[in-house]
Amino acid sequence: MLKSLFSWKVLLNLVVAIGVFVGLVWLTFRWLEYHTNHGQEIPVPNVVNKSVHDAVKILDDTGLEYEVDSATYDPKYRPFQVLQIYPAPGSRVKDGRTVRLKVNPRTWAQIAVPDVINKYSGLAFQRLDQVGLKIGDTIYEPSIQKDALLRILYKGNAVNPGARLPRFSVIDVVVGSGPMRNISIPNVVGLSVKEARAVITKSMFEVGLVEHEDGGKDESDIIYYQDPSSGDVRDQGMQIDLWASKKTPAELRAKIEQLNSIYRMKVDTSLPPVRYEEVHNEPNYDAPVIPAAPRRETPKPEVPKTETPKPQTTTPKPATGSGTEKPKASTTPSSTGSTAKPAASTTTGQQPAQKPKAKKVVVE
């Protein structure tokens, strides 16, 4: 068996096999060198801070491929300026290698406008600021939706929700300032229902009840009556009721008179207006006067001083009987006139009887 292994035929086949293997390996490496450009390297050119157009032209001349990637917009750099390159400038790469360029975009990335129409202005402003939109001018417009955001303007044009704008764009907003007061109601009699709706909406009023004479809903019917009437003043946002028919207003005079009796009530202005005055009831403190009691007691000091002759009359009585009383009566009228009155009272009249009673009460 060993002799058969070392025979010339076996050795020949072994040598041929080794030669074929070595040849295949050599050819494979040669093909790889040719396909990968082994040993042929190109330095990456420095195109940082150049415009993207100039950078692409330089890379094409050197035989390198490129891929442009837009970064976040930075206002400190020019639009389409190359900010970074990978691989780094100066590194050696093979011919055909792809180089990535990081370029500053022309402006901010676009964002969608949020749906904030007819929303409260405070919440709408907050939402617009969150997405990156800057609010410029705030324009107030008469509307029944007070403090509601009515429209969004970008460069003077209205923008619908969902439209895409550059981030940090400056927009103007229109906000409702509330309804205007005492606005004259337009005249829509003689117009079609469709035309009347347009006129009423333009005047910032609302269409209320629309009653068709035939019970239909034809928008081409003619308005023959409206309430409130034209020329009346109302606040914006009030409803205007309409009556429509296919006939002309001249043919519906009876119906118009009937509606006037209901909605056009006459007010009698011949009577003078009633005037109301306010009456202020102030408390009266004159009735309950407390010092009335001391006024009655005022004669106290006068009575005891003047009426002291009582003890004089009592003392002479036990001394002498009737003879002494007469001279007292004669002396009293000469000295004072007040003593004459009791003398007269003793003779006739009820007045002297009342005076001693009052004196007795005071003395006690």
pLDDT tens column, 179-229: 778 888 999 998 999 999 999 988 888 898 899 988 888 888 999 999 988
Angle of CA points 39, 43, 45, to nearest 5°: 160
Question: What mean pLDDT comes out for the span 309-321?
Answer: 46
Number of residues that make up the chain: 364
> What is the C-alpha to C-alpha distance for residues 91 and 97, in angstroms, rounded to an integer?
12
Ranges of H-type helices in 132-286 = 193-202, 253-263
Joined tokens for residue 315: 């003392």
Bridge partners, residue 242, by sequence: 210, 226
Rounded-to-integer distance, Cα 361 and Cα 304, Å: 11
- Please state the φ and ψ torsions of residue 208, each to the nearest 5 degrees: -95, -120
**Of 185, 177, 175, which is closest to residue 238 (Cα–Cα)?**
185
Query: What pTM was estimated for this model as a whole?
Result: 0.44
Question: Is 242 within 8 Å of 208 (Cβ atoms)?
Answer: yes
Whether 272 has a pLDDT exceeding 50, the answer reads yes
Q: What count of Cα atoms within 13 Å lies in the side-chain half-sphere of residue 265?
A: 3
Per residue in 226-246, pLDDT (tens digit) is 998 888 888 878 889 999 998
Around Cβ 144, how many Cβ atoms within 10 Å? Answer: 16
Alpha helices in the chain (DSSP H): 2-5, 8-36, 52-62, 121-131, 193-202, 253-263, 292-296, 302-306, 309-314, 316-319, 325-335, 340-347, 351-363
pLDDT confidence of residue 359: 46
Pairing of strands 233-234, 183-184: antiparallel
Q: Is the model's pLDDT at 109 over the cut of 50? A: yes
Task: Record the tokens describing residue 38, joined without a space.
Answer: 């082994």
- CB count in 10 Å sphere of residue 152: 24
How many CB atoms lie under 10 A from the CB of residue 167?
A: 15
* Alpha-carbon distance values, 348 to 238, 323, 330, 351, 352 (Å): 98, 22, 18, 9, 9
Mean pLDDT, rounded, for 345-351: 43
**Tens digit of each residue's pLDDT (9 = 90 or more) over 11-31:** 788 888 888 888 888 888 777
**Rounded distance between C-alpha atoms, residue 184 and residue 162, angstroms:** 38
- The structure tokens 């890379």 sit at 59
Which pLDDT score is estimated for 301? Answer: 52
What is the band of 347 on the pLDDT scale with cuts at 50, 70, 90? very low
Looking at the predicted structure, is the pLDDT value of residue 343 above 70?
A: no
Averaged pLDDT of the chain: 76
